Structure 1
Amino acid sequence: MGNVIDLGHGVRAAVTERDGGVSAPPFASLNLGLGSGDERAPVMENRERAAARLGFSHERVVWMNQVHSTDVLVATGPGGVGTCDGVVTSRPDLVLASLAADCLPVLAADGAAGVLGAAHSGRLGTAGGVAVRLVEAMVEQGARPDRVRVHLGPTICGKCYEVPPALQAETARDTPEAACSTRQGTTGVDMLAAVTAQLRRAGVTEISSDGRCTLESPELFSHRREAPTGRFASFVWRT
């Protein structure tokens, strides 16, 4: 289990790693994604284990059906919130989750307003600005951008994320910071740089990041390194 991050006002964020679960290869072992191809029973057992280690009940967690969109929903209860790639809540008992295996998890909180947010920003979501949509939805619930603190989870880095030139151009059309060169000198996408820039333009000033590249970090799942594979989760919750 990764480190727990303090986002202020009793809000915590954390990222799981791949060890300590019951899923069989190639999902070994703490796979938390039901849509990964793994069997349901081990994933549900893994979700219980991950929640227990972080100190909250798995029955508090809100899960998204992630589809690489920019849609953000408001969670009013635990369980499946619906098809979206961003979720916000003002309920103090809910834990928000974002699943990933190379895409960028976005965890956000305005602790003073009691508003939490979580998003899944893959290449398409980054191109469409799902992180900005998340902040906008939090503001509708009473948050203020200048009070929002964001933690960005592990993601494939720009040095490793090679894409064709057309996809780079599409991703960087509204966010030029997305364009980069890979370690091989080919066209790449830097989702961490892009989303950081988007959040700053949206008025968010307090941004921290995990910093690990999923492809280069064997303790994390990476779809590009070894598909099929499992999913790690990034959580944000109030203690």
Structure 2
Amino acid sequence: MTSSALDGVPHAFSTREELDLAGILPDGVLVRVRQVHSAHVVFAQDAMATAPEADAIVTDRPGLLLGIVTADCAPVLLYDSEAAVVGAAHAGWRGTVSGVLENTVEAMQRVGAKPERMVAVIGPTIAQASYEVDQAFRNRFTAKEQARFFECGRPQHWQFDLPAYAAHRLGEAGVGTIEDCGEDTYTQPARFHSFRRATHRGEETNGRQLSVIGLR
């Protein structure tokens, strides 16, 4: 699946179906990192024979297809068309709290991008109605964040809005256009892998979606 907000730049969010990478960016080279739920961002100049530990990638080099994998966390693809800079971020709650999205925006700025020109699209991720958390989890957030991004659930539990929180952090970083595709990974087993759903069902948890973006 793709987003109209990113028209003109090669990109896609996978479902359970594998992406046709050659169709997205012919002769493109997939660049991946070893994701560790951090706020670390790397700049890709080439294919990177050894994948570094990071949770976001930025490049201004044509021919590289930046890829991140998710299975409930938020995949975020970013683009500044004027500067010809792209970024891909794995925004789980840990990385988002730690600043992975702000760090991605800053890394893009270092090669000429400007936040107000950037387009950021949040791909398939777990929705608030599907994301139950306990009080200890909620306590990791500020009082204002608790009021805005958590709704009451069953006793001593809350529903956390990860895509809205990611959009908020992107907005705080100055990103000009932010779009949420609005696809809940948890409630669509025929379309998406979901780590939480698989855990609840006692199923294999190794399925992942791949999200990619690159420059021609």
Instruction: Tell me which residue corresponds to 1:223.
Output: 195
Q: Deviations over 1:27-85 (max 9, x none)?
A: xxx4xxxxxxxxxxxxxxxxxx631343534x511101100000001111125541100
Shift, 1:205, TM fit: 2.0
Instruction: Tell me which residue corresponds to 1:194.
Output: 165
Q: Indicate if the aligned counterparts of 1:117 and 1:236 stay in contact, CA closer than 8 A.
A: yes
Shift, 1:16, TM fit: 0.8
Q: State the structure with bigger RCO (CA 8 A, min sep 6), 1 or 2.
A: 2
Q: How many residues align?
A: 208
The 5 A counterparts of 1:174-213 are 175-176=145-146, 179-181=149-151, 184=154, 186-213=157-184
- Note closer, same or farther for the CA distance 1:231–1:184 as it changes in structure 2 (3 Å cut): same
Instruction: Tell me which residue corresponds to 2:106.
Output: 136
Shift, 1:174, TM fit: 8.0
Instruction: Tell me which residue corresponds to 1:73.
Output: 42
User: Aligned equivalents of 2:4 and 2:105: distance in 1?
Assistant: 19
Q: 1:18 aligns with which of 16, 19, 24?
A: 16
TM-score if structure 1 supplies the norm length?
0.79
Q: Indicate if the aligned counterparts of 1:168 and 1:188 stay in contact, CA closer than 8 A.
A: no
The CA RMSD measured in Å over matched residues stands at 2.2
User: Aligned equivalents of 1:178 and 1:100: distance in 2?
Assistant: 24
Instruction: Tell me which residue corresponds to 1:41.
Output: none
State the AA in 1 paired with 2:39.
Answer: T
Q: 1:62 aligns with which of 31, 36, 56?
A: 31
TM-score if structure 2 supplies the norm length?
0.87
State the AA in 2 paired with 1:194.
Answer: Y
User: Aligned equivalents of 1:68 and 1:154: distance in 2?
Assistant: 17
Q: Indicate if the aligned counterparts of 2:132 and 2:153 stay in contact, CA closer than 8 A.
A: no
| Corresponding residue SS for 2:77 | strand
State the AA in 2 paired with 1:187.
Answer: W
Shift, 1:127, TM fit: 1.4
Instruction: Tell me which residue corresponds to 1:232.
Output: 209
- Note closer, same or farther for the CA distance 1:141–1:55 as it changes in structure 2 (3 Å cut): closer
User: Aligned equivalents of 1:216 and 1:141: distance in 2?
Assistant: 39
State the AA in 2 paired with 1:212.
Answer: E
Shift, 1:181, TM fit: 2.0
Instruction: Tell me which residue corresponds to 1:44.
Output: none
Q: Deviations over 1:133-180 (max 9, x none)?
A: 110111111100001111111110111111111112214568457631
| Corresponding residue SS for 2:20 | helix
Gaps of 5+ in 2: 200-204
Instruction: Tell me which residue corresponds to 2:116.
Output: 146
- Note closer, same or farther for the CA distance 1:177–1:110 as it changes in structure 2 (3 Å cut): farther
- Note closer, same or farther for the CA distance 1:72–1:188 as it changes in structure 2 (3 Å cut): same
User: Aligned equivalents of 2:143 and 2:98: distance in 1?
Assistant: 10
Shift, 1:126, TM fit: 1.6
Shift, 1:237, TM fit: 1.7
- Note closer, same or farther for the CA distance 1:231–1:178 as it changes in structure 2 (3 Å cut): farther
State the AA in 1 paired with 2:13.
Answer: V
